[in-house]
Every structure is written in structure tokens, then in C-alpha cells.
Structure 1
Amino acid sequence: MLKESSSGRIFKNPILEKLTRTHISAPLIVFGGISFYLLYAAIAVKGLSFIITVMLFVSGWLLYSLIEYMMHRYLFHMEESTPVRKRLVYTFHGVHHQHPRDKDRLAMPIPVSLALSAILFFAFQFVIGDYVYAFLPGILIGYASYLWVHYMVHTFQPPKKGIFKIWWIHHGIHHYKQPERAFGVSSPLWDMIFRTMPDR
């Protein structure tokens, strides 16, 4: 049986394997900085009102939480019916389930997440114009909050009470008891809506 503190391997190539590892502070700093700049540009450069900026930011955060839930449920835990699917599931998420305390595999590599962020920026800019400057930070901070919560629940013992204890129990049930439930990490909102809250 694998030890929880052990580390899996995704690629045989040592360079590619190194690129799969990301210290948790890197994306938090990068996406925090990008979000701050975009929010500043939304108000100071693009002239969006404070209220509109807040509403767009919250909308982006909610959209991220839904994306997080859907990807975790339907992509990361899809049926491994073919060798390709099995490989994809292991690469995206299976290695994390086998080695849940590997601190360097709790975030996407920075180049990948930056590329996805750039694609999202231009896609949303095409659809909603300058509102993207307030909307995208909600998505990015949503991702950063997911990373923070995910890191905390996998690396720290929770206090006896409080929101962190709730997150810790919720995600622990997903890992160790009911992997077909509790797909929300940063929030149980969509588990409640789609009725995938764990049985306790």
C-alpha cells in the first residue's frame, strides 16, 4: 500500500516530470497580482463603477466554483473505460488521490494555468468587452481560493470547530470514504444543489 506522503510519477522524462510540480505560493502570488491589476484597470482605466465591478467579480467567482465542481465530478472522475481515459484520469487527478499529501501536486503548473487564463481573458473580452477586467479576477481568485483550501485540508490538522473543519471533513470524505460525492473543494454549494453531499 502506498504511503500518503509518497509521490507518484506522471512522466518518465525528468524535465516534464519536474514541470508537473508547483509550489503552492507561486499561483497564489501570480493570480493574486494579476487579479489586483485587472480590478484596478476595471475601475481606474476602463471606468467601471465599484458596484458593477463587485457584481462582476462575484459572478466570476460563482462561475469558477461551478467549473471546479463540474471538472472534478465529470472530468477528473470520469469512467476509466479505455486506456486513454485511464491515463487522463491518472494524469489530471488520479495521482493526487494516490498521493494526497504530495504538496507539489495540488496546483496546475504555472505555464499551463497562465495559458488558460489568457485564453479565458480573450474569450470573455470578445463576449462581454471591458467587463472582463472585473469578471476574470473573480474566476482567478476563485481558483486561488480553491488552491488555498485544498492545500490547507491536505497539509494541516484542522481546529476543533469552524469553517476550516467543515472543509477538512467534506474533502476528507471525498478522498477516503465516498469518492463519488463531495466534489466541491472551495465550497459545498454545488454539492448541495446537485445532491452530491456526502452521507454522514
Structure 2
Amino acid sequence: MHHSPASPLQPAVPRPKHKGSAQLFENPVLERLTHTHFAAPVTIFLLTAAVSLYYGLTRNLLTGVAAFGLFLAGLLLFTLAEYAMHRFVYHLATTTPARTKFQYTMHGVHHEYPKDKTRLAMPPILTVFVASLLFFLFRFVLGHAAFGVLAGFVFGYASYLFVHYSLHVFAPPRNALKWLWHHHAMHHYTQESAAFGVCTTLWDHVFGTMPRRRPR
């Protein structure tokens, strides 16, 4: 019987959860490259943000006020990109074997092994590639403004990695940030087709993908 994919507002059936780590590739080199400590990409992105701002300001390509505004714009842009990637790429409909393989490798394995600390961030080689690609893309589209936008965007990426790692490794804090833990936990354990935002619930509110408090 054919079942249509659940809409973003419908609770998804949670996947089975396992401890340890899954093997994605038979090749030991490729398999090793899928594991990393989250501190490596976080450091790379923070350095990229600092160097980008420093270069733009010291070369008089940006003023202080403009740099601050562009930084905030880049940060907001990242939160939208994070939401869109999580919702439309990482959770794309697995309607073909190729899509199923892609989705599992990119994100499905994380849902089955949510406590695997070594797969909560991209490997350093891929991090450098992504940072370089973002720089050339923003530079081509935005000109000098790219130095401010890039800084905010990759700072947002670093913040996302830190928050995501904390959500999966540490117990919920007894303060105002506890709602973030609950929001992401609902995505993993009760409603995979909702709660796509990790650092913020802003876009879940905007696009109507906030999870139900009491899913059916």
C-alpha cells in the first residue's frame, strides 16, 4: 500500500534509537572521515569569521557600523539556511533508493544514533571546503559586503554546531534555554516532521512547523 509522506504539521513515526555508531562506508579512510570532534569545525568557522571581519575592517572595505549590520544579516541568513537545509534536504522524501541512501548518510544515521558524539559536525576537510565555497559565493554576489555577511553566517554555523552538540551530549539546563532542549528532543523522539530549527524556533513559527505539545 502506498502512503503519502506526512505533512510538516503531522507527527512522524520516530525511528529506532541505538547506542554507539553506525558504519556508513566499507572503505576505512572514508569511514574515518565521517567522524570528527565538534571543536574542529567550530574553531575553523570562528577563525574564518574573525579573519573575514578583520580583513574587511583593516582594508577599509567595511566601516564599523556597516560591519555590525552585515554581521547580523549574515547571522539571520544562516538561521534561515539551517532551517531550510534541515527541512528540505536532510528530511527529503525517500521515494527512491538513491534518495534513501543520500538521506540516511546525510542525516538519517543521526536520528538512529543521536548520541554519537563523533557525527554531530562535519569533518575538518569538508568544513574548509564549505567555508571557502561560502566566501567565493558571497564575494561574487555581495562584493565588499561579503566580509561582514560571511562573518555572521559562519559565526552562526559555529554557534549551531556548539548548540547541537550540547543538545545531544548534556542534560537540559535549569534555565531559560531549557526550551531549546525540549524543542529538539521533540524533533528526534516524537515528531520528525516538525521542529526543524536548532538554534532558534523563529522559522518554525514563520513556516508553521512548530511541534504539537501532545502529539497523537
TM-score band, normalised by shorter chain: over 0.9
Kept in 2: contact 1:153–1:168 (CA 8 A): yes
Deviation string for 1:107-135 (max 9, x for gaps)? Answer: 11121121122122112111211111111
Question: Could you tell me how far 1:3 is from its partner in structure 2?
Answer: 5.6
Residues 1-200 of structure 1 mapped to structure 2, 5 A cutoff: 4-163=18-177, 165-200=178-213
Give TM-score scaled by structure 2 length.
0.89
For 2:175 and 2:193, the matched residues in 1 are separated by 26
Question: Could you tell me how far 1:186 is from its partner in structure 2?
Answer: 1.0
Q: Secondary structure at the residue paired with 1:100?
A: coil
What letter is aligned with 1:75? V
Question: Could you tell me how far 1:169 is from its partner in structure 2?
Answer: 0.3
For 1:153 and 1:123, the matched residues in 2 are separated by 31
For 1:168 and 1:94, the matched residues in 2 are separated by 20
Deviation string for 1:152-186 (max 9, x for gaps)? Answer: 000000123311x1110000000001000000011
* 5+ long unaligned stretches in structure 1: none
Kept in 1: contact 2:49–2:151 (CA 8 A): yes
Select the structure that is richer in helix.
Answer: 1
Q: Secondary structure at the residue paired with 2:172?
A: coil
Kept in 2: contact 1:46–1:130 (CA 8 A): no
For 2:155 and 2:127, the matched residues in 1 are separated by 13
Question: Could you tell me how far 1:140 is from its partner in structure 2?
Answer: 0.5
Query: How many residue pairs end up in the alignment?
Result: 199
CA RMSD of aligned residues (A): 1.3
Kept in 2: contact 1:149–1:167 (CA 8 A): no
Could you list the runs of 4 or more consecutive aligned residues of structure 1 that deviate by over 6 angstroms after TM superposition?
none
Q: 1 or 2 for the larger relative contact order (CA 8 Å, sep ≥6)?
A: 2
* 5+ long unaligned stretches in structure 2: 1-14
Deviation string for 1:10-52 (max 9, x for gaps)? Answer: 1111110000111011011111111111111111113411110
Q: Secondary structure at the residue paired with 2:183?
A: helix
